[in-house]
Structure 1
Amino acid sequence: MIHANELVVDNFAGGGGASTGMELGLNRHVDIAINHDPEAIAMHKANHPETRHYCESVWDVDPVEACEGRPVGLAWFSPDCKHFSKAKGSRPVDKNIRGLAWVAVRWAALVPVRVFMLENVEEFMTWGPLLEVAPGQFKPDPQRKGETFKAFIQCLSTGLDSAHPAWEEIRTALGDGFPYHMLEKGLGYNIEHRVLSACDFGVPTTRKRFFLVARNDGAQIQWPEQTHGDGLKPYRTAAEIIDWSIPVKSIFGRKRPLAENTMKRIAKGLEKFVFNADEPFIVPEQAAIPFITEHANASGQRNMALDEPLRTLCAQVKGGHFALVTSHVIKMRGTNLGHGAAEPLHTISAGGLHLGEVRAFLVKYYGTSHAGSCNSPLDTVTTKDRFGLVTVHGEEYQIIDIGMRMLEPHELYAAHDFPATYKISHDMNGKKLTKRAQVARVGNSVPPTMARVLVNANVEQPLLSEIAA
C-alpha cells in the first residue's frame, strides 16, 4: 500500500496510460507527472487534474525539489523505446535517448523510492555500448549486447565495479555532482524483470513489453497471474474495439486511387482472412448496418444499406437475400498483411495511422451470367476470378464491394483498454487535438491494465513489517 506521506510519480507520463493504471490499482491519483511534450501533458492534465505536472525534460526536474522532502512510494518509468526497438531496423540510434533509463537510477539515488517499475521494449535487455560508424552516427556494438543493461541492474542492486566500461556513459548521463559512490556500493534494490503480453491480461492487443519491478522494503516481488489464453478466458479481440457504426469507403472509384501496394495488400489479406479462412469473421448482426456502393456507373454511384434489396446491382437477389459482411484488420507496415478480426489487435505504434479495417460485402451467388459484372471491381485487386467467391457455412457468396478505412483514435484507445470516458480529442482548455497527436499518445502509452495488474500484485500487498506487527 502507499503510505499517507508517500508520493506516486510518473516519469515519461505521456498521455496517461501508466498513470491511469496506477490510479485504478491504488484508488488514488498520481502526485507528479513529467513529460517534455506539451501535447502529452495537455492530455494528461485533462484526465488527471489533481496531478502536479512538469512539462520539462526528465533531466531538468530535480527529484529532491519535486518531492519537497516526502518519500516516493511508487515511481513509474517508461523511457523512450524507439532506439532499442527492432522496428528501428538498421537506422542510426541516438545515444542520448538510449541513456534515458539512467533517470530511474537518478531518482532512486537522490530521494527515497520504495518501489519503482520500468517499462520498455524487450530489446531493452540488449542495451550495450555503441560504435560510431560515421561522424555523429552510432550503431549498437554486436559483440557487447546487454553489457550496459547488466551495469544498470548492478547499480540499482549490488553495486558496479569502478573499472566497469559503462561508467563513461553513466557519468555522461548523470553529470557532475552526482553521488557515484552510491552506485559503486549499489542502491540495494531487489529486482526482477519479465516480458509480458498485454493480451494475456485481458487487453485486446498483442503488445509485448519488458517490465521491471524493483523494491527495497523487504517485500517479495510478485507477478500478476495470466488471466486470458489457452485454458483461461478467451483472448479479447480486435472485433471488440472496432466501431461498426463507422462506414468504410469503397476501395474502387476514389478520386485519389489507393497505392498499388495497398491494393496488393488488400488482395492478399482477403485471400488469407476471407477466401481461404475456414470461418471468415462476419460482422455482428447487432452492429449498425453498413452500406455498399454500386460501381456499375462510376459517375453516379449509389450507396445503399445492406438490409435493403440490392436493386439492380445483381438482379438475381432483387427483393430478398440479406447480405453478409466480412471484416479483417489491415496493417500498413512492411510485409505484414494484418490479422483476423477475431484476434487481439497488433501493437499500436506512435508513428502514425497504420492499422485499418477491410470489409468485404457479400451476397449469395447463384452462378448466373451476372456474376461476371459483379466480379469486375475485384479484378482491380486481383486477376484470379475465384477470388470473387467465398464459402460461408457451406454456401457460396459473391463479393460485390470492398471497403477500407483506417482505425480511429477512440478505437485504438479501446484496444489499449483505456476507460471509455478517457478524454482524447481535446485538452483541458478545450483545444482540439489532431488525429496524429491522439494516435501518438496511444502508441506511446502503457495499457492501463498492465500498470494496474502490476500495482495490484506488488504495491497493494501488505509489507513484511506490517505482517509481523
Structure 2
Amino acid sequence: MLLPNEIIVDNFAGGGGASTGIEQALNRHVDIAINHDPDAIDMHKLNHPKTKHYCESVWDVDPVEACAGRPVGLGWFSPDCRHFSIAKGGQPVDKNIRGLAWVVVRWAALVPMRVFKLENVQEFLTWGPLVEVSPGNFKPDSERQGETFDAFIKCMTTGLNKVHRAWTEIKEALGDNFPYDKLEKGLGYKIEHRTLSACDYGVPTTRKRLFMVGRNDGKAIVWPKPTHGPKGSGLQPYKTAADIIDWSIPVRSIFGRKRPLVEATLNRIAKGIQKFVECEDPYLVPEENVLPFINEHANASNQRVMNANEPLRTICAQVKGGHFSIVTSHVIKLRGDNLGHRTDEPLHTISAGGNHLGAVQAFLIKYYGTGAPKAANEPLGTITTKDRFGVVVIKGEKYQIVDIGLRMLEPHELFAAMGFPKDYMIAYNSNGKKNSKRIQVARCGNAVCPLVAKVLVEANFITDDSRIAA
C-alpha cells in the first residue's frame, strides 16, 4: 500500500485510463494529473474531480512545487508513443517527442519517488539517436538502436558514464540547471520491463504494450498473472468484440447509399464476407440482441430500409428482400491490408488517429433455389450487378445473403473495448457541450487500459502471492 503522506502522480494523464486503473486498485484518487491537451484534461476532470489538474506541458510543471514536500509513492508515465510506433511507418520523427521519457528521470532526481511505472509501445526499447535525412527531417539511426534507452536505464539505476554519447541529448532535454551528478552516480532504482497484452487480463482488445516498473525501496518487482486465455489454457476465456458491440444499433446497408463506399472498402468487405461468413462456423449474432432490418432490392433509385419491428410497408412485386432468419457479423479494419477478424475474438488495437474499426453484418435467409448464385469472392462493385450476392453453408444448411450492412463502431463501444467502466463520462465536456467523435476516439486510442493498470498496481502495492507471475 501507499505509505503515510505519499501521493500519486499521473503524467501524460490523457482521458484517464491509467488513473482509473490506479484508483480501482488502491481505492483512492490520483493526486496530480498532467496533460497539455485541454480536451484530455477536461475529460479527466469530469471523471476524477478530486485530482489536481495541470493543463500544461510536463516540462512546465515543477515536480518540487507540485509535490509540496510530499513524497511520490507512485509515478505513472505514458509518454507519447507515436514517434516510436511501427504504425508511423517511414515518416519523419520528432526528437522532442521521442525524448519525453526523460521526464521520468527529472521527477526521480528532483523529488522522492518510490515506485514508477512507464507504458509505451514495444519499439521504445529501440530508442536511439536520430539522423537528419533532409533539412528538418529526422529518422532513427539504424546502427545505434537502443543506445539512448541504455542511457536512460543507466541513469535510473547504477549511473551513466561521462563519456556516453547520450549526454548531449540528455542535457538538451533537462536543461542547464539540473543535478547531473545524480545521474552519473545513478538514481538507484531496480527496473524490469515486460510486454503485456490487455486481452490476457480480461480486456476485450488485443492491445499490446511495453510496461516498465522501477522501485527504490528494496522490495521485489512483481508482475500480474494472466487471468484470461485461449480455449484449453485453463484460464477464463478471452473477452471478445461481441461483448462490447452494441447490437441495438442498426447497421446501414452498403447498397443504395447516396455516397457510395470507396472501392477499397468494398474490397475489404467482400474479402471479409468470403473469409468470415462463407465458412463452416461463422459468428451468429444473438437474435435477442440485434435489431434486424428489411431492405428492398428493387431497381428503384431509392431503396427503402425498414426496421423489422415496425409494420411491414407496401411491398411491390420486384422486392427481393424479406424477414432475415440469420445474421452473421465480423469486424472490419479500414487500415492497411488487414481484413479484420471474427467477432468472437478480442478487438484489434484502437488508434488515436481516428476510428478505423467497424461492424459488418450479413443478413441471410434460407436458400431454396436450384441455381448456382455467384460466390462473394469478388469486389462488391461487381457482385451488386447480380441478382444474388452469394450462398453460404452453415452447419449443412444453405443460406442466401440478401443484404450486407456496415457501420463504424461508436465511441462508447471503443471505450468498452478498452475496459473503461460503463459510467465513464465521454460524450459531453464539463460545460455540457457534446464532444465530437474525434475528441472521444482520440482520448480512447491514447489511453492506458484501466484493467491493465489496475492489475499492475495491485501486484506491486497489494501483497497477494497468487497474483504474482513467475
- Band the TM-score falls in, shorter-chain normalisation: over 0.9
User: Structure 1 stretch 63-72 or stretch 389-398: which is displaced more?
Assistant: 389-398
Hey, what does 2:172 align to over in structure 1?
Answer: 172
Alpha-carbon shift at residue 394 of structure 1 (Å): 1.1
1:365 alignment partner in structure 2: 367
Query: 1:292 touches 1:361 (CA, 8 Å); kept in 2?
Result: no
Alignment match, 2:229: 229
C-alpha distance in structure 1 between counterparts of 2:211 and 2:317, whole Å = 54
Contact 1:83 1:94 in 2 (8 A): yes
Determine helix, strand or coil for the equivalent of 1:223: coil
More displaced stretch, 377-386 vs 2-11: 377-386
1:329-344 equivalence runs, <5 A: 329-344=331-346
Q: Name the structure 2 match of 1:419.
A: 421
Distance 1:279 1:309, change over 3 A: farther
How far, CA to CA, are the matches of 1:221 and 1:189 in structure 2? 11
CA pair 384-197 structure 1, distance change in 2 beyond 3 A: farther
Q: Is the 8 A contact 1:294 1:313 kept in 2?
A: no
Give SS of 2:92's match: coil
Give me the whole-angstrom Cα distance separating, in 2, the residues matched to 1:206 and 1:400.
32
Distance 1:52 1:91 in 2: 36
Counterpart among 280, 285, 288 of residue 287 in structure 2: 285
- Output aligned runs, 1:109-258, within 5 Å: 109-230=109-230, 231=233, 232-258=235-261
Contact 1:36 1:55 in 2 (8 A): yes
| Matched positions, count | 458
Residues 94 and 375 (structure 1 numbering): CA distance in 2 closer, same or farther, change over 3 Å? closer
Within 5 Å, give how 1:41-80 maps onto structure 2: 41-80=41-80
Judge conservation of contact 2:383–2:389 (CA < 8 Å) in 1: no
Q: Is the 8 A contact 1:377 1:401 kept in 2?
A: no
The 8 Å contact of residues 10 and 34 in structure 2, kept in 1 or not, is answered as: yes
Distance in 1 of aligned mates of 2:387 and 2:153: 59
Contact 1:314 1:370 (C-alpha < 8 Å) held by counterparts: no
The equivalent residue for 1:453 is 455
Residue 305 of structure 1 deviates from its aligned partner by 4.0
Q: Cα distance, 1:384 vs. partner?
A: 9.4
**SS, match of residue 90 in structure 2:** coil
| 1:271 alignment partner, one of 265, 274, 294 | 274
Aligned to 1:401: 403
Give CA-to-partner distance per residue, 1:198-248, whole Å, 9 cap, x none.
001110000000000000111100000011113111111001100001111
Q: 1:381 to 1:164 in 2, by over 3 A?
A: farther
> What letter corresponds to residue 247 of structure 1 in structure 2?
P
Could you tell which deviates more after superposition, 376-385 or 27-36? 376-385
Bigger Cα displacement from structure 2, 3-12 vs 31-40: 3-12
8 Å Cα contact 1:7-1:74 kept in structure 2: yes
Q: CA deviation at 1:422?
A: 0.0
Q: Find the aligned partners of 1:110 and 1:377 in 2 and give their Cα distance.
A: 60
Mapping of residues 4-23 of structure 1, within 5 Å? 4-23=4-23
* Amino acid in structure 2 at the alignment position of 1:334: G
Contact 1:266 1:381 in 2 (8 A): no
The alpha carbon displacement at 1:369 in A equals: 6.8
Q: Paired residue for 1:104?
A: 104
After superposition, the CA RMSD in angstroms is: 2.4
**Aligned equivalents of 2:155, 2:203: Cα separation in 1:** 33
Distance 1:375 1:186 in 2: 61
Q: Identical aligned pairs, as a percentage?
A: 69
CA gap 1:253/1:75 in 2 versus in 1, 3 angstroms: same
CA contact (8 A) 1:18 1:451 kept: yes
Residue 82 of structure 2 aligns with an amino acid whose one-letter code is K
Distance 1:235 1:383, change over 3 A: farther
1:306–1:323 CA contact under 8 A, matched in 2: no
Question: 1:385 deviation in Å?
Answer: 9.2
Which whole-Å CA distance do the structure 2 matches of 1:267 and 1:375 have between them? 6
CA deviation after TM superposition for structure 1 residue 289, in Å:
2.2
Instruction: Tell me if the contact between 1:375 and 1:385 (Cα under 8 Å) persists in the aligned partners.
Output: no
Whether the 8 Å contact between 1:77 and 1:104 is mirrored in structure 2 is yes
Aligned partners of 1:263 and 1:20: how far apart in 2?
39
SS in 1 for 2:340: strand
Per the alignment, in what secondary structure is the counterpart of residue 439 of structure 1? helix
Out of 435, 438, 442, the position equivalent to 2:437 is 435
| C-alpha distance after superposition, 1:112-149 (max 9, x if no partner) | 00001000000000001111111111110111111111
Question: What TM-score, normalized to structure 2?
Answer: 0.93
**Cα distance in 2 between the residues matched to 1:375 and 1:401:** 15
Q: Which whole-Å deviations, capped at 9, do the CAs of 1:348-395 have from their partners, x for residues lacking one?
A: 0000011111111100000157979x9999664578999601111210
Q: CA deviation at 1:255?
A: 0.5
Give the AA of the match of 1:330: I
Given that residues 324 and 364 in structure 2 are in contact (C-alpha distance below 8 angstroms), is that contact kept between their aligned partners in structure 1? no
Structure 2: distance between partners of 1:384 and 1:234 = 41
Whether the aligned pair in 2 keeps the contact of 1:263 and 1:381 (CA below 8 Å) is no
Rounded to whole Å, the distance in 2 between the matches of 1:212 and 1:384 is: 56
